[in-house]
Structure 1
């Protein structure tokens, strides 16, 4: 399904790119125009996300480009750059400055050979010593892997599952021993999705990012922001899909009127509208808790809600488009891509477990007027 044709404005620079632009091309345009900093408080990734700025940026990208390109931008904005901002060595500072200017692309390489939601089981190792860190392992299904100038790699520096056993390492693309191959998917090719193999990659100590042993706490903090970004993006995606579907139904003749006049169609469409309004209200209500306090329960709630809402809306609209939805670039293709909302960044079943763990506090919050869990 082609993106909307949005009005010109702050993001008009993006209009010079084709709708088929890759994530790397979109990132370069945003950075070159100084627009990436709008996603952060005070324009600094280390200061945390600005919910309104992040939502506006993601909406502008989603309105113009495909889902894979937006994915490429979203992961960097919400997670990769804020984690990179924790680096105090010159290598990290240079990479961050280059990325904000759109001259560099950063791949967040957390997902391992092990199931992506079980990060404490990851097998990628970093050994530290007088000669600097040495990395060995494999990272799979990494957005921006094939276009990255830098890979931000989560690795274990100690055996076991304890949350203090993991550290971030910055690996420049092309470092001897670091090999990238594209993932076998046409759905996310525009996101540069691929697999990263690290075969005894040797680096200097200045490529360690953040304090040793703080890899998972740092990731947990910023995956919360990624889940907020996903809910904001999911709302924007659903809105434009529903708008396009409404136009399609209103223009398609049926009997003496159009398909839009059929009560069953209108009811199914209205249910989607209700679901998206619920997601937007929940997102707006939880935004500050996630952006400022990195509230894990609020973030998990948004992730679960976004996955369920996006799947419901895309499934319904896919049915309402009928045979037209199966054309190249049509809604059935988008529907397949959008399944990512309930899988990537924490599967729905996993984040629901996080919500269940906080059941008592969630129930207490529901008893207080004007508050959200």
Structure 2
């Protein structure tokens, strides 16, 4: 059951998608039903999506929505296709959405928009096909959301740059073939002395720590990365030398909008499944959904979801036309993650003891959702950005 079911049930009519988008949605859903859902337990046990998944998604054109056809992509040119893909992935589970989102929706645009012609030809065809898996290395053990406080450095040595440092909490980090990494190249310039490097995983001096043992999102491979005297030339710099901080700030609105789409689709799916559960689960001789408290609670939860969805849809339209502001992206990110967590927490309660069992989707969704209030900038950071925009 998904957002399309919500429409047919009459809870909300969405108007931002046309027949082409819905046809694409059907293709994504069919692929996930066929290739992913039967293997979710294996993915969770391995704490990673297998390369077969990435190659399959690439063959379907799902990984190249941001990549021009000249480099092997499908170049949708319409962010609503990204949104449809994100929604369908998160109906299955949030980890799937985060892994694909990092690769295709967040990291690939750095190469497309900032890469040289040679870099595009070298990497983008593999990115689109799933042969080159991407990750983005921003967060450091001591830095958290403070991107300006990076300690990983790149020091010029002849024609090379020598990179030393580490990153943590990197989604796709254990499997990635190429990591777009923020490093400090001019310490005296502060935030304006950061550069982005594309670091191949087979570069001498690149190493990975263990797959991190997270509270949720078991299917997502998350790792620590270490750089010990990694030598790269200028041909691995992405964008402008010392321009990395500005590049990251320009790309963060899309990342945060992607999070908002994910959060809302994830919560909606679990809420719809919970509604069905309350119609079937009996207590005291009646479905539990007919009890006044539960009926009122469900009315409240569906209203929260629909109001949130209406705002997120408007943000999608704004982003597609180039009008989404960083402040509105921050609003969408923090609000949707808050609603997601509140809604799914209530869904656990409505499931009773079964809601606390990992074999039930609602329990896993509850664990998976918690990180959305932390990553892509914590909710507190989002509120700080909004407050500054208010002149405070």
Return 82-91 or 145-154, whichever deviates more.
82-91
- Is 1:76 paired with 2:97? no
Map residues 229-308 of structure 1 onto 2, 5 A cutoff: 229-291=258-320, 292-293=322-323, 295-308=325-338
User: Is 1:341 matched up with 2:372?
Assistant: yes
Q: Does 1:184 align with 2:213?
A: yes
Q: Is the 8 A contact 1:120 1:161 kept in 2?
A: no
Q: Does 1:58 align with 2:75?
A: no
How do 1:32-181 residues align onto structure 2 when only pairs under 5 Å count? 32-38=59-65, 50-64=78-92, 66-85=93-112, 86-88=114-116, 90-160=118-188, 162-181=190-209
- The TM-score normalised by the length of structure 1 is 0.88
Does the Cα contact within 8 Å between 1:242 and 1:317 map onto a contact in 2? yes
CA displacement at 1:43 relative to structure 2: 9.8
- Alpha-carbon distance between aligned partners in 2 of 1:132 and 1:58, rounded to the nearest angstrom: 39
RMSD, aligned α-carbons = 2.8
SS at match of 1:140: strand
Q: CA deviation at 1:174?
A: 2.1
Contact 2:185 2:194 in 1 (8 A): yes
CA gap 1:161/1:310 in 2 versus in 1, 3 angstroms: farther
Cα drift, residue 97 of structure 1: 2.0
Q: Distance in 2 between matches of 1:153 and 1:226?
A: 16
Quick one: distance in 2 between partners of 1:100 and 1:93? 12
Q: Report the counterpart of residue 371 of structure 1 in structure 2.
A: none
The 3 A distance-change label for structure 1 pair 84 and 329 is: farther
Residue equivalent to 1:17: 35
Superposed displacement of residue 214, structure 1:
1.4
**CA offsets 1:143-202 (integer angstroms, 9 cap, x no match):** 000111111111110115633211110111121111112213363342210000001101
Q: Residue 321 of structure 1: which of 342, 351, 356 is its match?
A: 351
Contact 1:40 1:54 in 2 (8 A): no
**CA-CA distance at 1:37 after TM superposition:** 3.0
Gaps of 5+ in 1: 362-373
With over 3 angstroms needed to count, the CA separation of the structure-2 counterparts of 1:42 and 1:255, relative to structure 1, is farther
Q: CA deviation at 1:114?
A: 2.1
Partner of 2:132, secondary structure, is coil
Provide structure 2 residue ranges, at least 5 long, that are not aligned to the other structure: 6-22
Q: Secondary structure at the match of 1:225?
A: helix
The one-character-per-residue Cα deviations of 1:205-236 (angstroms, maximum 9, x if unpaired) are: 21111111111111111111011111111121
- The structural deviation recorded for 1:342 is 0.8
Closer, same or farther: CA 305–340 of 1 in aligned 2, 3 Å: same
Distance 2:221 2:301 in 1: 31
Q: Runs ≥4 in structure 1, deviation > 4 angstroms?
A: 2-8, 39-49
- Any conservation in 1 of the 2:64–2:75 contact (CA below 8 Å)? no
Q: CA deviation at 1:129?
A: 4.0
CA contact (8 A) 2:66 2:108 kept: no
Distance of 2:335 and 2:69 partners within structure 1? 29
1:279/1:358 Cα in 2 relative to 1: closer, same or farther (>3 Å)?
same
User: How far did 1:67 drift?
Assistant: 2.0
The 1:108/1:191 distance shift into structure 2, 3 A limit, reads same
Judging changes above 3 Å, is the alpha-carbon distance between structure 1 residues 32 and 180 closer, same or farther for their aligned structure 2 residues?
Answer: same
